[in-house]
Chain A
Amino acid sequence: MRQTLLTAVTAAVLAAGPALADLTIVDTSYRTGPYAANGIPFSDGYQDYFTLLNERDGGVGGEKINLVECETGYNTEKGVECYEATKGAGNGALLYQPLSTGITYQLIPKATADGIPLHTMGYGRTSAKNGGVFPYVFNYPANYWDGASHAITHILNENGGDISGKKIALVYHNSAYGKEPIRTLEELAKKHGYELSLLPVDHPGQEQKSQWLQIRQQRPDYVLMWGWGVMNQVAIQEAVNIRFPMENFIGIWWSGSENDVKAAGAGANGYKALTFHNLGSGYPIYDDLRKHVVDAGKAAGAGDQLGTVLYNRGMYAAILAAEAIKTAQEMHGTAAINASQMRDGMENLEMTEAKMTALGVPNFGPEFKVSCENHGGNGLGAVSQWDAAAGEFKLITDYYQSDQEIIAALVAEDSAAFAAENGITPGC
Chain B
Amino acid sequence: MPDQLLFGMEVVLNGLMAGVLYALVALGFVLIYKASGIFNYAQGVMALFAALTLVGVMEGQVPFAHLINAILGTQVHHFGWHVPTLLAIILTILVMVLLAWTVNQLIFRHLVNQEPIILFMATIGLAYFLEGFGDIMWGSDIKKLDVGLPQGINPAIDDLTFGIFGYGFFIDNLDIVATVVAALLVVSLVLFAQYSKQGRAMRAVADDHQAALSVGISLKFIWVMVWSLAGFVALVAGIMWGTKSGVQFSLSLIALKALPVLMLGGFTSIPGAIVGGLIIGVGEKLFEFSVGPMVGGATENWFAYVLALIFLVFRPQGLFGEKIIERV
Which A residues lie at the B interface, using CB under 8 A?
Answer: 31-37, 40, 174, 198-204, 206-207, 209-211, 213-214, 216-217, 229-230, 233-234, 237, 240-243, 259, 262-263, 265, 267, 297, 302, 304
Chain B 1-20 against A: per-residue CB contact (8 Å), 1 yes, 0 no? Answer: 00100010011001001100
Name the distance in Å between B156's Cβ and chain A's nearest Cβ. 15
Given A206-B244, A263-B142, output 17 extra A-B contacts at Cβ < 8 Å: A34-B248, A36-B249, A37-B141, A200-B297, A202-B298, A206-B251, A209-B14, A209-B285, A210-B11, A210-B300, A214-B289, A233-B248, A237-B245, A262-B144, A263-B144, A263-B245, A263-B246
> Is the C-beta of B254 less than 8 angstroms from some C-beta in chain A?
yes
Query: Bound complex: CA of A206 vs CA of B170, how far in Å?
Result: 18
Across the interface, which residues of B come within 8 angstroms of A233, CB to CB? 142, 245-246, 248
**A230 in contact with B18 (CB, 8 Å):** no
Partner of A204, one of B14, B66, B153, B250: B250
Name the distance in Å between B49's Cβ and chain A's nearest Cβ.
14
Residues of A within 8 A of B249 (CB): 32-34, 36-37
Q: Report whether B292 and A210 are in contact in the complex, using a CB–CB cutoff of 8 Å.
A: yes
Shortest B276–chain A CB gap in Å is: 16
Tally inter-chain residue pairs, CB-CB below 8 A.
Answer: 115
Query: Which chain B positions have C-beta within 8 A of A203?
Result: 301
Question: A242 near B170 (CB under 8 angstroms)?
Answer: yes
Tell me the bound Cα distance from A243 to B66 in angstroms.
39
The answer to whether A230 touches B248, judged by C-beta atoms less than 8 angstroms apart, is yes
6 A-B residue contacts at CB 8 Å? A204-B253, A209-B17, A237-B244, A237-B245, A241-B172, A262-B142
Residues from chain B with Cβ under 8 Å of A199 in the complex: 297
Q: Which residues of B contact A34 (CB under 8 A)?
A: 248-250, 252-253
Q: Nearest Cβ distance between residue A290 and chain B, in whole angstroms?
A: 14
Q: Are B151 and A241 in contact (CB under 8 A)?
A: yes
Question: When the two chains form their complex, are residues B296 and A200 in contact, meaning their CB atoms are under 8 A apart?
Answer: yes
Residue numbers in A under 8 Å from B244 (CB-CB): 206, 234, 237
Given contact pairs A202-B301, A237-B151, A210 touches B289 in the complex (Cβ within 8 A): yes
Min Cβ gap B51→A in Å is 12
Determine whether the beta carbon of A32 is less than 8 Å from that of B132.
yes
B140 within 8 A of A: yes
CB distance from A386 to the nearest CB of B (A): 14
Residue of A32, A202, A204, A262 near B140 (CB, 8 A) is A32
Interface of chain B, main secondary structure: helix
Return the chain A residue nearest B287 by Cβ.
A210
Chain A positions within 8 Å of B34 at CB level? none
Rounded to whole angstroms, the CA-CA distance of A287 and B112 in the bound complex is 60
A207 to B296, alpha carbons, bound, how many Å? Answer: 17
Q: Which residue of the partner chain A has the closest CB to B65? A: A302
Taking the complex as formed, is B59 at the interface, i.e. its CB lies under 8 A from any CB of chain A?
A: no
The smallest beta-carbon distance between B279 and chain A, in angstroms, is 16
Interface centre among A40, A297, A302 (most CB of B within 10 A): A302
Q: Does B69 touch A at the CB level, under 8 Å? A: yes
* Chain B residue contacts of A230, Cβ below 8 A: 245, 248, 250
Residues 283-310 of chain B, each 1 if its beta carbon lies under 8 Å from chain A, else 0: 0110011001000111011000000000
Question: In the bound complex, do residue B153 and residue A243 qualify as a contact, i.e. CB atoms below 8 Å apart?
Answer: yes
B141 and A202 form a contact (CB under 8 A):
no
Q: Which residues of B contact A201 (CB under 8 A)?
A: 298
Q: Which residues of chain B from 242 to 277 have a CB within 8 Å of any chain A CB?
A: 244-246, 248-254, 257
Determine if A207 and B170 form an interchain contact, defined as CB atoms under 8 angstroms apart. no
Decide if B141 touches A259 in the complex (CB within 8 Å).
Answer: yes
Contact at B296–A242, with CB atoms within 8 Å?
Answer: no
Contact indicator A229/B250 (Cβ below 8 Å)? yes
Q: Which residues of B contact A262 (CB under 8 A)?
A: 142, 144, 246
Min C-beta distance of B235 to chain A, whole Å: 18
A214 to B289, CA, bound (A): 8
- Chain B residues within an 8 Å CB radius of A263: 142, 144, 245-246
* Contact A207–B250 (Cβ < 8 Å): no
Nearest CB in chain A to that of B48: its residue: A34
B73 interface residue, CB < 8 Å from A? Answer: yes
Residues on the A chain within 8 Å of B146, using CB: 265
Chain B positions within 8 Å of A206 at CB level? 241, 244-245, 250-251, 253-254, 257
Chain B hits for A213, CB < 8 A: 7, 10-11, 14, 170, 289
How many Å lie between the Cα of A304 and that of B132 in the bound state? 21
A302 pairs with B246, CB closer than 8 A: no
Counting from the closest, the 8 A-B pairs by CB-CB distance are: A263-B246, A34-B250, A36-B140, A200-B298, A230-B250, A174-B298, A210-B288, A202-B301
How far, in whole Å, are A297 and B69 apart by their CA atoms in the complex?
A: 11
Chain A residues near B297 (CB-CB < 8 A): 174, 198-200, 211
> For B170, what are the chain A residues with a Cβ–Cβ distance below 8 Å?
213, 216, 241-242
Nearest-neighbor residue (CB-CB) of B132 within chain A: A32
Which residues of chain B are near A217, meaning CB under 8 Å?
3, 7, 10
In the complex, A259→B73 CA distance in Å?
27
With A209-B285, A213-B14, A241-B153 in contact, do A202 and B300 touch (Cβ < 8 Å)? yes
Question: For the complex, what is the distance from the CA of A302 to the CA of B139, rounded to whole Å?
Answer: 10
Q: Is B141's CB under 8 angstroms from A40's CB?
A: yes
Give the chain A neighbours of B250 by CB distance below 8 A: 34-35, 204, 206, 229-230
| A37 pairs with B142, CB closer than 8 A | yes
Residues of A within 8 A of B248 (CB): 34, 37, 229-230, 233
* A216 and B244 alpha carbons, distance in the complex (Å): 18
